[in-house]
Amino acid sequence: MTHPLDPLTADEIRQAAGIVRRDRGVGDGWRFASIELKEPAKADLPELAAGRQNSREALVVCWNRADGRAYRASVSLTGDQVTGWEHLPGQQPNMTVDEWHECDEMLRGHPDIIAALGRRGITDLSRVLADMWAYGAALVPPRYAGQRLGWCDLWYRGSERGNPYAHHLTGLHPVVDLNTMTLLELEDNGGGDASAAKVMGEYLPDLLPMRLREVAPLEVSQPDGVGFTLDGNLLRWQNWQLRIGFNHREGLVLHQVAFLDAGRLRPVAHRLSFAEMVVPYRDASPDHYRRTAFDIGEWGLGFMTTSLEAGCDCLGEITYLDAVLHDSRGEPVTVPNAICVHEEDSGVLWKHVDERTGTEVRRARRLVVSFHVTVANYEYLVYWRFYQDGGIECEVRATGIMVTSHIAAPGSRPANGTVVDHGSYAPFHQHFIVARLDMDVDGTGNTVYATQSRPAEPGGDDPYALGLTVVSTPLRTEAAGKQDYDWSTQRGWKVVNDNVRNALGAPVGYKLVPSAAIPALLDPASPVLARAGAIGHTLWVTPYREDERWPCGDFPVQAVRDTGLPAWTEADRPIENTDVVLWYVFGIHHITRPEDWPVMPSDIVSFWLKPVGFFDRNPALDVPPSHSHH
């Protein structure tokens, strides 16, 4: 039986596209940008889940390539009809994988591109890659205002199987009308000949100028099977229960996260996901000044998800789930093994050595739900980890290949990057990830408190100022909910349900333990901040609203301004003792290194959600001693 939060099936995607074609005249000249489940409102979920209501809906965004007009449709799958049809004037839907491939193919066959490559000594077009990027409105040439644009890098493989991102054709940038799929202009400053560059940018074993080292095998075995159960998309493990979801934009979504405590299933979070990823390159040269990616809003983590492989991407006894997406024609596309579920050893859970009773120790396990994304040159590996003590860790690993360009190119700014190979530098850049944390700690009546550690002043009965207190300040409105990390006070944030007390008389809560919080370091007038004002604070707190999903706005492609968090919070709505959503901004301040080249060792960042008074004592006391296996 389908649960109301289960992702759309292939048949439902096909049905939704068919209804829109039939009822709204969407034909061959159109593209489908997105087809996803229209998630039920929280208030409706109990009735739907119990089968007392029957309603299944989809959200569809599509546009007509002939006139560029975009529309958002609400589609009743149970009622077989379009229930809403909204024109989106001035909006550009997300970029599509089909556009990326069609642009690459068109440019490699264009006579102007062929001529420009020939001037650089490149005649084998099969080794050329056109990598298309989206524009922000502030950087769109005025003569192309209103058109759906892409600008491109051109790259060149040193051999048939070589790494295309090793050889940037610096100074050569096509600008493309994506609706007509035509070349509008070709920026060409006569930059370098990639075929002559003395760059070692290969990573495939047979192309390396060195032998591979020896590594002894490491295997994980669970002879009695895994410790979790998966019933459809309902996952249970070590008192944890959650539902796995997936869509084109966020990729992996975790629903209805709860912990079974003394026979009672206690909610922790209604929905956990990534809602945006902003990657500004901090190099003002002609090759990089436009280079700001919104990997979620422009492209979609779901669309960029890749299939996982046992033994490499995931180690141990693995359970995989496929993901069903679609192409721009509205046809379903399945990503096999898109989500990995497995258990891992996590070292010592707790331990004490007593002189009489000896050593008492427990090993920890964790449940990992993960997916991997390839966005052109970069990979993002996302892991949600659940622990036996009630903790939740979210980790992101960034790997893949850095963007590089030639030091000697006109307008080049190597001071804004690091030299990583002969004549090549990798620009500095940042990765801002916005995690959307729809918390329901023992219910929806939650208040967020900012916590700060305060040292004592010397004097009185504390002459050495040893005392340390924690000050918890309730955040009562959205203005107060705009928070920044402060290392000097070890600022953190607790999501507290003041209506529920633990056995010690304190209100129950979960704490957001911040890590990898980085400042924007952008001028207030920056066009990046205009489109991505959400990255201006470490934390935002808003009241739950069903339609407030995207922190940089519904459609950031060629957007003028951020119509998400900065716009919503202007109302300064109350956020005390209500259903709250936390938007946590974290990421990587990437000061590039030679050691990141030619393929980057994983750069790892994470944050935690930890119980604070949610339990009366250590919830992992009941974990048994480990079995001895040799």
Sequence spans of domains, the chain: 10-87, 97-207, 248-502+517-611
DSSP readout, 403-458? --EETTSTT--GGGEEEEETTEEEE-EEEEEEEEEEE-TTSS-BEEEEEEEEEPPS
Same fold, 10-87 and 248-502+517-611: no
Q: Quick one: pLDDT at residue 333?
A: 98
Q: Quick one: pLDDT at residue 48?
A: 86
Q: Quick one: pLDDT at residue 373?
A: 98
Q: Quick one: pLDDT at residue 21?
A: 98
pTM more than 0.95: yes
Burial category of 87 from C-beta neighbours within 10 Å (exposed 0-12, middle 13-18, buried 19 and up):
exposed
Residue-wise pLDDT tens digits, 380-396 = 999 999 999 999 999 99
Contact between 387 and 257 (Cβ < 8 Å): no
Q: How many Å apart are CA 540 and CA 532, to the nearest integer?
A: 13
DSSP label at 168? B
Q: Is the omega angle on the peptide bond into residue 598 within 30 degrees of 0, that is, cis?
A: yes
Q: What is the mean pLDDT of residues 478-503?
A: 98
- CATH code given to domain 10-87: 3.10.450.40
Q: Name the one residue in this structure whose structure tokens are 């002609």.
A: 286
Mean pLDDT of the chain: 96
Q: Quick one: pLDDT at residue 156?
A: 96
What six digits make up the tokens of 569?
A: 């919070």
Per-residue pLDDT for 446 more than 60?
Answer: yes
Residue-wise pLDDT tens digits, 122-133 = 999 999 999 999
Per-residue pLDDT for 555 more than 90?
Answer: yes
Q: Quick one: pLDDT at residue 622?
A: 96
Q: Quick one: pLDDT at residue 191?
A: 67
- Distance from CA of residue 578 to its chain's centroid? 26
What six digits make up the tokens of 417?
A: 């990057």
Per-residue pLDDT for 140 more than 60?
Answer: yes
How far is the first Cα of the chain from the last one, in angstroms, to the nearest whole number? Answer: 43
Per-residue pLDDT for 107 more than 90?
Answer: yes
- Catalytic site residues? 295, 378
Report which secondary-structure segment, H or E, holds 565: helix 565-568
Three-state DSSP at 546 gives coil
Per-residue pLDDT for 115 more than 90?
Answer: yes
Q: Quick one: pLDDT at residue 411?
A: 87
- CATH code given to domain 248-502+517-611: 2.70.98.20
Residue-wise pLDDT tens digits, 361-375 = 999 999 999 999 999
Residue-wise pLDDT tens digits, 201-258 = 999 999 999 999 999 999 999 999 999 999 999 999 999 999 999 999 999 999 999 9
- CATH code given to domain 97-207: 3.10.450.40
> What sign for the dihedral angle of Cα 295, 300, 301, 304?
negative
Contact between 441 and 510 (Cβ < 8 Å): yes
